[in-house]
Amino acid sequence: MDSFVKTAREGKPFSDVFIFDCHGHFGICSGFHIPQTSDSGFVAALDRVGIDLVAVSTFGNITPAGNDVVGQAVTAHPDRFVGYARVNANYPEIMEGELTRCFDELGFKGIKIHPYCDQISLDDPRYRPVWEFSAARNAPVLIHTWNSVRYVDPLLKFCHPLLIRGPAEEYPDAVIILGHSGGEYDGILEAIEVAKAFPNVYLDTASSRLYPGVIKMMVEELGAERVLYGSDVPFLSAVTQLGKIIYADIAESDKEMVLGGNAARLFGMHEGLRK
C-alpha cells in the first residue's frame, strides 16, 4: 500500500505532499448551490483535505466583474488562490485589455476560456489574443473541453478537444490545458490524441465522469508530467476528484507530479510552496 492510499484510508488530510488544484471556481453561481462562497470558507474546505493551492476562475461569462471577485480572493489569500483571467470571445475588443489588467493589476497567472458558454468554437480567430498572450507571458490557458456520443448537445461542437490542433500548432509557445480532458470517454481519447501530437498541450483530470483506469491510461500515453490534477470545485467534490489520483495504479512519484508538481511548474510557482 503506497503512502497516498494509506493516508486516504486513515481519513487524514494530505499534509506531506504538495497539492495544486489547477481547475476551480470562485464566487456566486445562480445555477448551482454553492455552500462556501466566502474565501475563508473555501480555504477551510481546502484545509480539511490538504489542498495547498487552487487556481480559480469566475463562473460563466460574468466578466470583468467576476474577475474582480476572484482578484479579491487572490489578494486576501495569495498563498492559497491563483487567479485565472476569464475572457469571452464575444467581446474581442476588450479581451487584450482585460488580460493585461488581470495579470498586471490583479496578479493573475492563468487564463480561462469557455467555448461552450461563449458559443464560439475554441479555434475561432477571436481567441487569438488569448494564444498570443499565453505565448508572450508563458501563461497557462485552461479550456473547457467536452465531447460525447452518448447524448446530443448542439453546444458541444464548440469545445471538442480536437479543435485545439490549429491553435496548438500555430502557437507552440502557448501553454494549453484541456479542462476535463474531453469529459466523456470518447472525448478523453480525443484529448489524449491531440496532447500526444502537441507537447504544449496538457490534460486536466476534473470530470463528473468516473472511468476506471483513465488516469493510468493518461500517464502511460503521455507521461505523468503532462497530466494535472483538477477538481472543478465547488461544482464537484475535491474528495472524489482526489480519489481518482490517489487510487490510480501509477507510481507514487507520478502521483506527486500529477497532484501538484506539474501545476507548480506551469504556473511558475516553484518557490514559496507551503509544504
Structural domain of 36: 3-266
Kindly state the cell numbers that stand for 87: 475572457
CB-based contact 204:142 (threshold 8 Å): yes
**pLDDT at residue 272, rounded to an integer:** 44
**pLDDT at residue 36, rounded to an integer:** 66
**pLDDT at residue 274, rounded to an integer:** 57
- Is 275 inside a domain boundary? no
- Is 242 inside a domain boundary? yes
Kindly state the cell numbers that stand for 47: 484545509
Please count the structural domains in the chain.
1
- Is 273 inside a domain boundary? no
- Is 151 inside a domain boundary? yes
Instruction: Please report, for the domain that includes residue 181, its CATH number.
Output: 3.20.20.140
pLDDT tens per residue across all 275 residues of the chain: 899 999 999 999 999 999 999 999 998 776 666 666 688 888 998 999 999 999 999 987 777 999 999 999 999 999 999 999 999 999 999 999 999 999 999 999 999 999 999 999 999 999 999 999 999 999 999 999 999 878 789 999 999 999 999 999 999 999 999 999 999 999 999 999 999 999 999 999 999 888 899 999 999 999 999 999 999 998 888 999 999 999 999 999 999 999 999 999 999 986 445 55
- Is 272 inside a domain boundary? no
The overall pTM is greater than 0.75: yes
Separation between Cα atoms, residue 99 and residue 103, nearest integer Å: 6
**pLDDT at residue 275, rounded to an integer:** 55
Q: Where are the alpha helices (DSSP H) in the chain?
A: 3-9, 39-49, 65-76, 92-104, 115-118, 128-137, 165-170, 185-197, 214-222, 238-246, 252-256, 262-266
- Is 108 inside a domain boundary? yes
- Is 243 inside a domain boundary? yes
